[in-house]
């Protein structure tokens, strides 16, 4: 730390490097919070969590009993003076008692990207609801043909208000909040869609993961997907292909050298004809190759059946810079993909235990250094680029279903089937007043500071 401060003072480091370093160290020390607690208002398991992207303050939670709650992560409801723990109760909850409320499990929740006045929920009752946080009422409802497993809205969209919906139907549907109708569908998956994620660099690009094990890239302005990820296609295989041009040149050189000394005019003409035929065949081959490259990758029969996981895709999450995509599947594997090339980076993440009957949520730290994966009753923390497990967060009594990371405070919120929402945060710094009290006590005991676990009379 002192070295970082010194380099910052002399101007050797970027002005933001110190804050980035401190935040990264805080995230790596994350553990179950002893000073902050979210009081769950739900009577069933928590399926989905999200922190709003405008104020980074309000936590939205959807539960299996059909209820949805909103929590303030900054302002506690009250403070337990005996335990010195800040309690955060729900600001409000909506459930099946509200008109047009969900009667079955809420599978996915999503804040409106512009402000916190609206949020969207998807449920197993085949409905997608748009809620008003001021009136706590449903303002708009979309009827889906099957259970809704996932919904997503683009955080950078400026020209559309589309909600992407993944259901047990094979099609991904786009619902327009401005018109109240489904604009169009995206067909390509062969089974239900469990995971959806919008691109962090374009408001028109959508990623989807289905129970068929496929991850598809869509440009919603055109028909068909333009990329299907294949776990067998890696960046190692992307090497320049050996063309026949070098061999053709060698044949031409040897042919001309031999013909000048041994062959006559007739043999020269025959070889020239042969070379012309070879060059013509080479041109045709190159033309066919370019035609194949121009063809839509997602429309090719071979690529169309590619799979990213040997099981259902349960979660998708983009990195902070939007250049990489994380995916998790029921094959208990987590993979890191290069979005530009569509290749598997082959980062080997240690084994996880991912639930096989519903979608989950991944979380990434603000500097894209750590990945949080729900694995059975715990949350496993991985180093993104090496794949090594950094820590294992244990605290829930049942399967963990979702994770949400709050970058401002370096806090992680997790929801589980045990109906609890746990807060994981870095160690709390000692307040200045407490430090002064400890120093005064140290002076009274002979100038040496005495900690809580030590006595004042031993040698």
pLDDT at 128 over 50: yes
Which pTM does this prediction carry? 0.79
Whether the per-residue pLDDT at 50 is higher than 80: the answer is yes
Beta strands 421-425 and 31-32 are antiparallel
Tens of pLDDT, residues 344-360: 999 999 888 887 788 89
Predicted confidence band of residue 339 (pLDDT cuts 50, 70, 90): very high
The CATH classification number of 26-233+306-432 equals 2.130.10.10
Tens digit of pLDDT for each residue in 155-212? 999 999 999 999 999 999 999 999 999 988 999 999 999 999 999 999 999 999 999 9
pLDDT at 291 over 90: no
How far apart (Å, rounded) are the C-alpha atoms in residues 142 and 129? 7
Report domain extents, the chain. 26-233+306-432, 240-298
- Taking the C-alpha atoms of residue 212 and residue 348, their distance in angstroms, rounded to an integer, is 22
Residue, of 249 and 59, whose pLDDT is higher: 59
Q: Of 90, 89, 91, 76, nearest to 35 (Cα)?
A: 76
Q: Which of 40, 138, 144, 139 minimizes the C-alpha distance to 96?
A: 138
Sign of the four-CA dihedral 305, 311, 312, 318: negative
Q: End-to-end alpha-carbon separation of the chain, Å?
A: 32
């Amino acid at each position: 730390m002192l070295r970082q401060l010194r380099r910052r003072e002399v101007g050797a480091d970027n002005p933001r490097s110190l804050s980035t370093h401190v935040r990264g160290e805080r995230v790596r020390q994350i553990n179950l919070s002893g000073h902050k607690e979210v009081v769950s208002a739900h009577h069933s398991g928590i399926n989905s969590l999200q922190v709003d992207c405008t104020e980074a303050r309000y936590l939205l939670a959807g539960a299996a009993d059909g209820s949805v709650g909103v929590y303030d992560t900054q302002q506690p409801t009250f403070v337990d003076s005996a335990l010195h723990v800040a309690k955060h109760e729900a600001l409000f909850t909506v459930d099946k008692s509200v008109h047009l409320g969900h009667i079955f499990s809420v599978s996915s929740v999503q804040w409106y990207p512009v402000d916190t006045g609206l949020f969207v929920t998807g449920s197993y009752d085949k409905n997608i609801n748009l809620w008003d946080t001021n009136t706590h009422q449903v303002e708009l409802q979309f009827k889906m043909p099957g259970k809704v497993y996932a919904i997503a809205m683009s955080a950078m969209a400026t020209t559309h208000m589309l909600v992407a919906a993944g259901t047990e139907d094979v099609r991904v549907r786009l619902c327009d909040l401005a018109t109240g109708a489904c604009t169009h569908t995206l067909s390509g998956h062969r089974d239900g869609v469990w995971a959806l994620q919008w691109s962090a660099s374009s408001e028109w690009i959508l990623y989807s993961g289905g129970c068929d094990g496929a991850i598809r890239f869509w440009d919603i302005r055109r028909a068909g997907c333009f990329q299907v990820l294949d776990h067998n296609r890696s960046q190692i295989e992307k090497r320049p292909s050996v063309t026949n041009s070098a061999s053709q040149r060698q044949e031409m050189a040897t042919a001309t050298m031999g013909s000048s000394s041994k062959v006559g005019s007739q043999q020269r003409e025959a070889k020239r004809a042969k070379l012309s035929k070879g060059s013509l065949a080479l041109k045709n081959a190159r033309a066919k190759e370019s035609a194949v490259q121009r063809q839509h990758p997602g429309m090719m029969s071979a690529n169309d059946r590619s799979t990213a996981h040997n099981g259902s895709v349960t979660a998708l999450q983009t990195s902070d810079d939007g250049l990489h995509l994380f995916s998790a599947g029921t094959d208990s594997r987590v993979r890191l993909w290069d979005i530009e090339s569509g290749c598997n980076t082959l980062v080997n993440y240690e084994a996880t235990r991912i639930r096989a009957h519903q979608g989950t949520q991944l979380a990434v730290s603000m500097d894209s250094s750590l990945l949080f994966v729900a694995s059975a009753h715990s949350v496993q923390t991985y180093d993104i680029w090496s794949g090594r497990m950094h820590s294992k967060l244990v605290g829930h009594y049942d399967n963990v279903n979702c994770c949400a990371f709050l970058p401002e405070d370096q806090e992680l919120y997790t929801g589980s089937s045990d109906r609890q929402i746990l807060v994981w945060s870095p160690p709390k710094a000692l307040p200045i007043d407490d430090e002064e009290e400890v120093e005064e006590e140290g002076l009274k005991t002979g100038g040496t500071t005495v900690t809580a676990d030590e006595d004042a009379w031993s040698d």
